[in-house]
Each structure stands twice: as C-alpha cells, then as structure tokens.
A and B are shown apart, each in its own frame.
Chain A
Amino acid sequence: MRVGILGTGFMGVTHAMGWKKTDAELVGFAAESEAEARPVVEQFGGSVYQNMAAMLPDVDIVDICTPTHLHYEMVLAAAKAGKHVICEKPLALTIAQGQEMVTACKKADVKFYVAHVVRYFPEYASAYQAVQKGSIGRVATMRLRRGGFRPKKANGNWFLDEKKSGGMMLDLMIHDFDYARWVAGDVVQVFAKKISSMNPTAVLDYGMAILTHKSGAISHISGAWAYPPPTFRTGLEISGDGGMIHSDSDSTAPIINYLQSKPGEAPDVGLPSSPVIESPYTTQIKEFYEGIKKDSPVRLNAEDGLAALQIALAALESARTGKAVNLTTEVLA
C-alpha cells in the first residue's frame, strides 16, 4: 500500500523510519513549506508534496504527524477522500471534533488509528500483559509519571501554545491517561492540578491528576515539563491485591552517560532512550499497517484515543475550575 506522511518534524521522521521497515511504499511528505520537507525526502525518498490535497490522489494511507490543532481538518479530509488514517496523539483538541473525526472515518469505511505509542513501549506492554495474566490480581492503585523539559522549537513553538497543543496535559500526560485506562478500565472521575493553571507566567509546568476508575481502582498521573534538558524520565507502579509491578527509567537505563556535554546539545523534545532492537514507534506502525492491510487486531482504536482525550480535557477542566469532573462513557458511543 502507498503511504504519505503529513508533517516532517520529529514525529514525521520517526514514523518514516517505521514505514521503512514495512513493505508499504512511502510516496512522500508534505510540510508547512517545501523547504522543510526537502531534507526528509532526501533521507527517506519519495516526493515533496505542496500540501495534503496534492498528496491524497497518490496514497492509500495518510499518516498525520502535524501539530495537534491541524489534526481535525486533516483527518476529515483524508476520510472524505476514502483514505485510511493514522493520526498522532492527541486525537483532537475537543470532544466534539474527536467524535466527528471518528464518525467520518466510520462512514467512509476507512481505518483510523491514534498513535498512543506508550502502549508499544516494551515495559508498558509487558506490564499490561502481566496484569492481564493476573500476576498481581485486581488492580487497586497505579502511579504513572512522565517528565522532561519544555519542548523547544526554533520557530513557532506550537507546543507551548495551549490553543494549538492543549498544553502539557493534552500533549504529555495523555500518554499515561490512555495507559491507565488501558490497564484499569474506564475512568469515572478526574481531579487535577497544574502549575500553569495557577501561575500562567511560570517558566515550567508540572501537573498531577487523580483518576477514579469504574473498577474502583485509583490512578495517580504526573507529568513534568520541569527538568533541565536533556532529562526525560518515566515510571510506572501498578499495585493489585495480588502483588505489584514497578518499572522506572532511572533504574532500568542500560547505558548511563557521564560525558561532558557541549552547549546546545540537548534535543528539542525529551524522549525515552532505553535502546531496543525494534523501536516502539516502528512496532506501532507495523501493527497499524497490518490492521489496515489484513484487518488484524490492533491494541487500540480511535475510540481509545477519544477516551484518552476526554480524560485529558477533564483534567484541564478540573485544574481550571478546582472541581472534580465526572465522566460519562456516552461520548464514546
């Protein structure tokens, strides 16, 4: 099948590396400008497309790796053209938009996957499987944390513009909102706080959310844009009535560097860096591709992306209003 990638930032390049491990034909890229897409095309081959409309006739799959605020219109356009869609997280910026996107893809009878890549990280996938196997009994509490530094961008830093990215809760913490729901089921209440809601001029951000699951389990999710570059650390702790699972990037890092760093060496976006032979991003792309090609099972669908968005938006609302926010599962129906 033929695939085209929209967006040539870090995520577009990462997805391209994944597609190169499949038998799909990567026909090319479209970015905000031709100049941005050019070096990526030189690396991965294919053509530079002026825009999405120019790309659509040449592809079967559209892989959307653009800033969050562009997802909505791009997914609708892809569905309208009858193309399968892969979209980076978060799915959208509002529930209404997310619902419309899901409905449009259903109507068009195209596949629609949201790239919640944490489900493909080996430690997270293994922990999920261990819980499924009953290794720790019924889940009671869960602590998930993920943190790095504020994303940098040479120009137009959309990450820091809440209207474009939704801020840290939608961009970063949504990974663990999705994972918590995957492990412990639907969420019925959210209470959350974050620095940026209380101190809009703060130079860093840190959010915490308490999720109550329908099952009775309670999850604590924390997200940081607070550490000095290039720090990025994650941790999970799942406790059940029959045991517990713990994993922590600080203590599982197989390589520890104490090298003198040069100024300006830190990457733009903090990322996990436990080397595995196949990147979790590649595992994800392969599974999505098999899902599209052969209708084989995929560990998450667009509704899961919508549910994660619902939790993240509830956390934002709670941080803004100071109230606990109750969720219904009706929006997902």
Chain B
Amino acid sequence: MKIGIMSFAHLHAEGYLQICRTLPGVEFVGFADNDPQRGEKFAKLFETKLWTSYEALLEQKLDGVIICSENNNHLPMIKLAADAGVSILCEKPLATSQPDGREILRICEEKNVPLMTAFPMRYSAPLMEVKQRLDSGELGRVYCFNGSNQGELPKKHREWFVDPELAGGGALADHVVHLVDVMRWYLGAEVIEVYAQSNQIFHADEVQVETGGMVMLTFDNGVYASIDCSWSRPDYWPAWGGLDFEMITDRGAILVDGFKQNLTVYSHVLQRPSWAFWGSDPNVGMIEDFIGSIQEGRSSRVTGLDGFKAVEVVLAAYESVKTGQPVKIE
C-alpha cells in the first residue's frame, strides 16, 4: 500500500506523514510540493523523498494520496490525482466555491476515484461514544446543539490560512465545517438554513478576513444548532483551541468536548500552563479508515459529498453575513 502527500502547504501534512509511517502495510513514499523551499525543509525534517512536480509523485503507482494544499488548490490537485486513478483524502474545507466543489465531485465520479474529506472528529473517541449512545436511543430525541470550535489565529502556522483567496475566507471558512459534519453525522439530516454574523475585531490590523463569527443552522428534521467559529483564543491559550458542544435532547443535555483529555502542564520554559492531549488521536482513525477503504475496496466513513455539504453551509453563511437574514440551502 503506497501512500504519498500532495503539497505540504497545510500544517496537518506533518501529522499525516508520521501516522502513515506507523501503520502496518503502508509504505509512505514521499511527497511533492511546488514550493521548493517548503519542500526541502520538510523533506529534510522528516527524511523523506521530495518530488518537485505533482505529476512525478503520481507516477509512483500510488494507491492513495493525501492532499494538503491551500484550500483553493484542492480542485487542480484532485484533478491530477483522479486522472492518475489514485484514491484521495483531501484536507477540509473541500472547496472554496460551489462550482469548485461540484467539479471535484464530478471528476471523482467520472474517473471512479474514491474521495474522502479530512473530518477527523468522526474518529474522536468521545464523539463516537456519543454517536453510538444516540443511535441506541439512550439519549432520546435531539432538539438542538450549542457548539463551539474556537481557535487561535492560525497565521503563525501558515501565512496562507488568513489569505482570503487561498483559504477562501477567515474564521467562517476555517471553523464551521467540522461541527457541521459532526451534526450531519449525528442526525443523518441536512442543513436547510443558515444565519451568520461575523466581524473583524480580533487581530484587526494583521489580517484581511473575518476573525469572529457565529452561525445558527436549521436542519431538515427541525433540529437547530449554533457554531462559534471565532479565532478568539489568545496565542497564549493553553492549546490551539478546541471543539465542544452541548446537545439537548428530550432527556436533558449532554456536554461533549473533543479535546478535554489533557494534562495541564506548568513548565518554567513556557511560563504558562499548557494542555497536553492524552486522548486518542482522531487523525489515526481517519487515516486508518482511508487505508482500509482502499485495501478492502469499500467506502470510507467520510466522503467527498460530506465535504461538499459542509462547504455549502460555509458559503450560505457568507451570504447571510451579506444579507443580514437567514439563507436557505435547497
């Protein structure tokens, strides 16, 4: 099983590479990057092979690629990989526009190439337990979610994360999709309406995109949900941010935090507390599912369509910010 990575633009490529190396039966062949400086830096750091063209990487008879490019480059990358007939795991958000998203789905279908979106929260141990209990009926019928996926300004990791063109926006584009996907997964329902407000008060002088945002969704089964997607966490917050929600059902409420399984570490070096996550890494389950889906010729638990549905919500949120009223998704 030969796996490669297309582009190291996204921070997550580092983790994915290391996970691939730990999985039995997986050969991590290397990665390609069109930025020579970035490519050499990470090739050296991880002692792995670097190709300077994506086509050259795809000639290595890969079974799967993980695409970690800038958000608006997902379409051309997927085109290349689909042409080569290689299974794809693509970073989120899948696309930055609806035409791009539709084109991605069309190409993969046409070339009969499996496409998976990187939504690791579907592989989070606490979130999976709640999904199981929900499906068993123990938790009753869901009324609503109060969700938060706040984080720090991601600029310090990669400059393009705050580039309106390359990232497709700011906090709304970055932090709405994860919880949308979790809720779609939990409910088996689709979002039919989106209301959103955003502002640019955090880091106002440093970036050209919205840094604060709140969204309210309505699903086709009547469930409603809010998501706080703000880049509101200070740089000295004990972690990068987090994802949590309160789920209210006819039995009461259940509070779920995907990133609470932490040590609190007080170090003389940092001079502030930091959280060291000891929970199970959701990325491992996600990559295992990707590999397993290729090996067994089955569908992965998250698909390209799931990625597209989340993108539709983000685009509706931007529309709502403009109009000041909720926006319907047909």
Contact = CB atoms under 8 A, between A and B. Distances in A.
A11 interface: no
A216 B228 contact: no
Interface stretch (B4-12, B32-40, B201-209): B201-209
Given A140-B211, A210-B214, A243 B197 contact: no
Interface string B239-250: 000000010101
A220 interface: yes
A218 B214 contact: yes
27 contacts: A140-B201, A140-B212, A140-B232, A141-B212, A143-B228, A147-B253, A191-B197, A191-B216, A195-B143, A199-B222, A204-B248, A204-B252, A206-B146, A210-B216, A217-B199, A222-B146, A224-B248, A226-B252, A226-B253, A239-B232, A240-B201, A240-B202, A241-B201, A244-B232, A322-B218, A323-B325, A324-B325
Interface string A189-210: 1010101001100111010101
Contacts of B218: 193, 322
Nearest to B144: A206
Contacts of A141: 199, 201, 212, 214, 228, 230, 232
B326 A218 contact: no
A210 B196 CA distance: 9
A324 B201 contact: no
A191 B326 contact: yes
A235 to B, nearest CB: 11
Nearest to A215: B201
Q: Which size class do A's interface residues fall under?
A: 35 or more
B250 A239 contact: no
Given A204-B248, A208-B216, A210-B216, A189 B324 contact: yes
Contact of B228 (A139, A193, A220): A220
- A-side interface mostly: strand
Contacts of B144: 193, 195, 206, 208
A145 B222 contact: no
A208 B146 contact: yes
Given A239-B202, A240-B201, A243-B234, A193 B216 contact: yes
A212 interface: yes
Contacts of A323: 325-326
Interface string B251-284: 0110000000000000000000000000000000
A227 B253 contact: yes
B259 to A, nearest CB: 16
B224 A224 contact: no
A224 B145 CA distance: 12
Interface in A310-330: 322-324, 326
Give the 4 A-B residue pairs with the shortest CB-CB distance, closest first.
A140-B201, A239-B232, A193-B224, A206-B248
A218 B199 contact: yes
Contact of B197 (A147, A199, A206, A210): A210
Contacts of A204: 248, 250, 252
A212 B148 contact: no
A241 B202 contact: yes
Given A193-B216, A208-B146, A324 B228 contact: no
A286 to B, nearest CB: 35
Interface in A223-239: 224, 226-228, 239
Contacts of B211: 140
A243 B202 CA distance: 9
A216 B216 contact: no
Given A141-B228, A208-B216, A218 B248 contact: no
A247 to B, nearest CB: 16
A143 B148 CA distance: 10
B201 A217 contact: yes
B135 to A, nearest CB: 21
B202 A210 contact: no
Nearest to B224: A193
A138 interface: yes
A275 B90 CA distance: 52
A147 B144 CA distance: 15
A198 to B, nearest CB: 6
B18 to A, nearest CB: 32
B195 interface: yes
A220 B226 contact: yes
Nearest to B228: A220
B172 to A, nearest CB: 12
Nearest to B195: A191
A194 to B, nearest CB: 9
